């Protein structure tokens, strides 16, 4: 009687079938991976918990972007946040936002112009009308090290004869994180 009722339990098929052993093995593999990954990468996980991981990632991406730029276009120059702020305060430079228009509208460096790279490449934007003098100081930026459009825009500008073109590698996220002036809205 007792044995019979045990055989009628609904999860009997699960225990004898392939699903439960596969699930148990999958859980075991996941647990070992969590243990090994947690031990080996505990520094990175702790940084993520403390809010320092994004800074590490952005710094790494910026280093890679600079190295790649130096390799492909050695003539292009980067400007750091403090120097960019100095140019901004002295109103010496024009800031050009190479991101998509919706990103620009969501937030950009105060006074910056929206110059989406794609619009420049398609000839939809006339750079001569936008920036008159070839010797004007131009600072291009996008989303930081993860995005190469500021470099590509700078390359385009240098290509058509602008001589004072700088790239703000930290981009809008770096500028905003530094507490520098920002604004939102379409151009």
Partner 1 sequence: MSVTILRNAYLHLAVRLVLGSLFIWAGVGKAVAPLDFASSVYNYKLLPEFWVGVAAGVIPWLELLAGVALVTGVRIKGAASVISLLMLLFVSLLLTSWVRGLNIDCGCFSGVERTPGLVAISEDAGMLLGALFVLFLDRRQLNPAGLALRRLVRIGKRDG
Residues that bind partner 1 (CB under 8 A): 18, 21-30, 32-34, 36-38, 40-42, 44-49, 51, 53-54, 56-57, 60-61, 146
Q: Which residue, 94 or 114, has its beta carbon nearer to partner 1?
A: 114
Least gap, CB of 72 to partner 1 (angstroms): 15
Least gap, CB of 12 to partner 1 (angstroms): 19
Q: Which residue, 68 or 128, has its beta carbon nearer to partner 1?
A: 68
Least gap, CB of 109 to partner 1 (angstroms): 20
Q: Which residue, 28 or 72, has its beta carbon nearer to partner 1?
A: 28
CA distance linking residue 171 with residue 146, whole number of Å: 9
Q: Which residues of 107-140 are buried (b: 16+ CB within 10 A; e: fewer)?
A: bbbeebbbbbbeebeeeebebeeebeeeeebbbb
Q: Which residue, 61 or 73, has its beta carbon nearer to partner 1?
A: 61
């Amino acid at each position: 009687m007792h044995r019979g009722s045990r055989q009628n339990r609904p999860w009997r098929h699960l225990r004898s079938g392939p699903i439960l052993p596969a699930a148990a093995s999958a859980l075991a593999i996941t647990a070992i991976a969590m243990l090994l990954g947690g031990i080996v990468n505990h520094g990175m996980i702790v940084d993520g918990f403390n809010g320092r991981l994004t800074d590490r990632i952005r710094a790494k991406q910026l280093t890679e972007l600079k190295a790649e730029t130096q390799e492909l276009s050695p003539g292009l120059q980067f400007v750091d946040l403090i120097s960019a702020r100095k140019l901004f305060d002295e109103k010496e430079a024009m800031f050009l936002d190479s991101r998509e228009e919706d990103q620009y509208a969501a937030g950009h460096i105060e006074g910056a112009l929206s110059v989406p790279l794609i619009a420049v490449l398609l000839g939809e934007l006339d750079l001569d009308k936008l920036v008159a003098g070839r010797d004007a100081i131009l600072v291009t930026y996008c989303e930081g090290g993860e995005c190469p459009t500021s470099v590509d825009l700078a390359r385009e500008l240098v290509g058509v004869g602008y001589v004072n073109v700088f790239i703000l590698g930290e981009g809008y996220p770096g500028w905003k994180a530094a507490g520098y002036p920002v604004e939102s809205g379409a151009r």
